[in-house]
Structure 1
Amino acid sequence: MRSVRDFLAGVGFFFQGVGWVARNGRWWLFGLIPALIAFAVYVVALVFLGTNATDLAEFLTPFADTWGWRDTFRAMVGVALFLGGLALAVLTFTALTLAIGEPFYEKLSGTVDPVDGDEEQPWWRTLPRSIKDSLVTLGFVLMFTVPLFFLGFIPVVGQTVVPVLGAAISGFFLTVELTTLALERRGMARKQRFALLRGSKPAALGFGVAVFVLFLVPFVAVLAMPAAVAGAALLVRTRLAPGAEAPRVHT
């Protein structure tokens, strides 16, 4: 029962982030800029993938040339490729948006979650480390999601168990990405951040799964990104960070 309560509490932190940006509209608009840029990049990439999915499926399945049902099989592969691209877009949207909007989201997160003695570093110093950490996180995500992609072709299991596991894994790593800003302000390196989130897995899953599900809806990811950053800062401040204080609302 405690795990369920912690999971629901994690979901609640996202909605607290929504409430924070609703009360601080200028920060919501401020946080939309990098999200819109990243969204435009992904729209172009997904449109390209969608219009070329059939040709790509044919290129990847030369062994099916003699099959009587090759067109149906390749159509299924094409759909799977597009869905895989969509899932990858959801998984990497946060990392790309945070990389593009490092100065934006650092200020937003710092306003939600001020840390005593924190000295703001120039974005050009923190960006290389952020990109490196995002690539490492992406490597972990692919290590889990690539096998799940192929398991998705198994009847019944691929349509029930696999999507749930995929949402849980993706949600956890979205939380990893989104809490990076707040945890780095507390001097935590990547290994420390991972250990902290593994120790609070139900709450991390609740927050991340809520974000992941919303990010599956076109354009909602853009609108929700500032709230996700704010919610992650509140999650760190009130639940994850040692000696956390109650959050102070800044207007």
Structure 2
Amino acid sequence: MTAARIPASTTSAARRFLGGTGLLLRGIGLYVRSPGLMLLGVVPALITGALFVAAYATLVYVVDDLAALVTPFADNWSEGWRSLARVVAGLAFLGIGGLLAVVTFTAVTLVVGDPFYEKISERVERRYGGPAAEVEVPFWASLRRSAGDSLRLVGLSILFGVPLLAAGFVPVVGQTVVPVLGAAVGGWLLAVELVGAPFSRRGRHLPERRAALKADRPTTLGFGMAVFVCFLIPLGAVLLMPAAVAGATLLARRSLGEPTEER
């Protein structure tokens, strides 16, 4: 009997996905080796994180009421089925709330801490030879770019989040397939958001950023989903935000065909 062979394209995609995950690990390594600068990136993350933890705690507190509000059809069901319907609804709210919280946390933190994260990204670039063609971007122009891009990506996260929330009410599918799709969508949006600084440094805007990342989608998803999962861990988003910025700089360099090995 001949063993089934996995197509080379599938193997290559899996390898690139793992390579994208490895970029976050390399970002963490850079974080550990440059604690002085990287710790500056924790300050804006702490400020934003406190607000988002309070918001998500509020969602957890009212989730039972929200679940009851959207499942009036279950009022006359038996207690067991009614409870099951509302548990499914509650999990859907918490899951999509987590997706929106992670994406919006990243967007807001990058705007609040723009000077810190720009500095982290620049230092990583210097370790690998700098950008191939750097464009001087004034501070306020950089801040406007960051804020505008963040608003667009938050809008996209809401756009994707609504159908995922609806799908989350479907038993089994809502608790298995939807979380994976949510991580993929959230990971993609995070990757697009986090590479903003190195792309802006080269005079490249959001459409070019998306196009470059789409050219190597498995690597982008590997990186973005790894960041997304880490950001779901309590305090993970706060502590790993600088490392995510460092890893995203490597992702940007790789997507643009620039060296990602130290000289």
Normalised by the size of structure 1, how large is the TM-score? 0.89
Counting matched residue pairs gives 246
Query: SS in structure 1 opposite 2:195?
Result: helix
Partner of 1:8: 18
Query: SS in structure 2 opposite 1:155?
Result: coil
Identity, % of aligned positions: 47
Give 1:183's aligned amino acid: F
String of CA shifts for 1:193-221, please: whole Å, max 9, x gaps: 11111111011011111111111111011
Give 1:175's aligned amino acid: A
Is the deviation greater in 221-230 or in 50-59? Answer: 50-59
Give 1:150's aligned amino acid: A
Which sections of structure 2, spanning at least 5 residues, go unmatched? 1-10
Contact 1:18 1:227 in 2 (8 A): yes
Cα 1:56–1:135 shift into 2, 3 Å: same
Partner of 2:243: 227
Which residue, 27, 31, 45 being the options, matches 1:35? 45
RMSD across aligned C-alpha pairs, in angstroms? 2.1
Partner of 2:54: 44
Q: What is the Cα deviation at residue 168 of structure 1?
A: 1.5
Counterparts of residues 205-244 of structure 1 (less than 5 Å): 205-237=221-253, 239-242=254-257, 244=258
String of CA shifts for 1:100-153, please: whole Å, max 9, x gaps: 11111011111111335442421x332222222112122323333322222223
Query: SS in structure 2 opposite 1:119?
Result: coil
Matches of 2:232 and 2:46, distance apart in 1? 15
Partner of 1:245: 259
Normalised by the size of structure 2, how large is the TM-score? 0.85
Matches of 1:160 and 1:57, distance apart in 2? 19
Is the deviation greater in 59-68 or in 201-210? Answer: 59-68
Q: What is the Cα deviation at residue 75 of structure 1?
A: 4.4
Matches of 1:191 and 1:167, distance apart in 2? 22
Contact 1:14 1:228 in 2 (8 A): yes
Which residue, 36, 47, 56 being the options, matches 1:26? 36
Matches of 2:91 and 2:260, distance apart in 1? 47
Matches of 1:47 and 1:248, distance apart in 2? 43
Counterparts of residues 134-173 of structure 1 (less than 5 Å): 134-173=150-189
